[in-house]
Structure 1
Amino acid sequence: MEENLHDMFYGASWIIHKQARDLRKRETKAEKIVWDLLSNKKLGVKFRRQHPINQFITDFYCHEIKLVIEIDGEIHLQKEALEYDEMRTTIFNYYGITVVRFTNKEIFTNATNARSKIEQKIKDLESKP
C-alpha cells in the first residue's frame, strides 16, 4: 500500500517546514556526527534530518519504522526543558513514533555506543508485527 507523502509530517505547517529547512543549514557538531552515522541508509533505513512532525522539528526521523532520534544539549537538563521533551515524546508516542535520546556528551565521547543503540532499536522496531 502506497502511503501519502504528507502523512509523514503529521500536519506540520509550512512555517514548521521553513524552520526545519533553516535548521538543516546550521547543524550542531553532535548532529553532524550522528548524521554521518545515519545518512545514505548506512543502517539500512532512510533517516531525514530536521524533520517536521506536527508542530515540532525532530533531529532525525525514519518514517519507515517510525523512529525519532534526538540529540540533546545541556539546556535539555533544565526542568522546563525536561518537561517539554516529555510532552513532545508523549505526542510522538501517540502517533506510534518511538523516541531515542542521546546527550551531546554521549555522542562526543562514545559515538560507537550510540550507533550500537540505534542499530538495536532499528532491529527491535523492524521485528515488531
Structure 2
Amino acid sequence: MKPYNKNLKQASRDLRNNMTDAEKLLWSRLRNKQILGLQFYRQKPILNFIVDFYCPAVNLVIECDGSQHFTEDGLEADRVRDEALAQLGLKVLRFDNGQVMGQIDDVVEVVYRYCLKEIFKESP
C-alpha cells in the first residue's frame, strides 16, 4: 500500500467527477481490467499528489498532461513529483492530451507493453 493522504480524498473525488476529455477517453480503455486483467484506479491520492491513473500490480502511474504541464513551472513541478513517486518504486508514464485524443491506440499500446514487461519481470 502506497502512502495515502486522506486530506486529498474530497479533491480526488472532485477530479473524478470532472475529468478532462483526454482522461475520460483513456479511462474508457483502462477501466474494467481491459489491459491484461489489471485493475487501474483514477485520480488516486499518493503522497501529497493525486495521480491521474494508478495500477498497483505493476507500480504504474499514468498522467495525462494539459498545456499547463509544458510551462517552466509545470515541468519543474512534474520533475519533482515524478522523482518523489519514483522513490516509492513507481514508474510514471506521461502523455500529453493531444496524444491521448489523437493516438489513443498508440497510448494504450505503450501502457500494454509496459505492463506486460513488468508482469513477466515479476514472474519466478
Deviation at 1:14, TM superposition (A): 2.1
The structure, 1 or 2, with the larger RCO (C-alpha pairs under 8 Å, 6+ apart) is 2
How well do the aligned residues superpose, as a CA RMSD in angstroms?
A: 0.9
Indicate the residue corresponding to 2:64 in structure 1: 71
Partner Cα separation in structure 2 for residue 124 and residue 70 of structure 1: 19
Gap regions ≥5 residues in structure 1: 1-6
Q: Displacement, 1:95? A: 0.3
Partner secondary structure for residue 102 of structure 1: strand
**Match among 76, 94, 98 for residue 83 of structure 1:** 76
Amino acid at match of 1:105: G
1:121 aligns with 2:120: no
TM-score normalized by structure 2? 0.94
Flag as ranges the 4+ runs of structure 1 deviating above 2 A: none
Does 1:51 pair with 2:50?
no
State the match for 2:100 in structure 1.
Answer: 107
TM (norm. structure 1) is: 0.90
CA distance in 1 between counterparts of 2:38 and 2:108 reads 13
The number of residues matched between the two structures is 121
